[in-house]
Amino acid sequence: MNKKELIDRVSQVTSMSKDDVTTAVEATFDSIVTTLKEGGSVRIVGFGNFEVSQRKASTGRNPRTGEPMDIPASNVPKFKAGKALKEAVNS
């Protein structure tokens, strides 16, 4: 499912206009991104947690040439599914 399909489905389920649902979905995603950028985490009970993890700098290899290359440290977004989501997927 992509974002357009998500908007269509939410619009059908809620009987809200697609414009209103689009605004709500965009605001939700923007809020999650902003919170993660600020170093926070987003916990949605029953769904899961969005967090930022720090990846250390490391040395890798260029797959084409085999030469060593430095991989800089970076922040990586992570999602951990909540118990209710795990149970729903496995039922």
At 80-91, the pLDDT tens digits run 999 999 999 998
Same domain, 24 and 35: yes
Same domain, 30 and 45: no
Same domain, 51 and 89: yes
pLDDT band at 72 (very low <50, low <70, confident <90, very high): very high
At 26-59, the pLDDT tens digits run 999 999 999 999 999 999 999 999 999 999 999 9
Q: b/e map of 31-60 (b: 16 or more CB within 10 Å)?
A: ebeeebeeeeebeeeeebebbeeeeeeeee
* pLDDT at residue 27 in the model: 97
* pLDDT at residue 42 in the model: 97
pLDDT band at 5 (very low <50, low <70, confident <90, very high): very high
Same domain, 85 and 48: yes
Same domain, 49 and 84: yes
- Cβ atoms of residues 1 and 9 within 8 Å: yes
Q: What domain range includes position 24?
A: 8-40
- Cβ atoms of residues 77 and 36 within 8 Å: yes
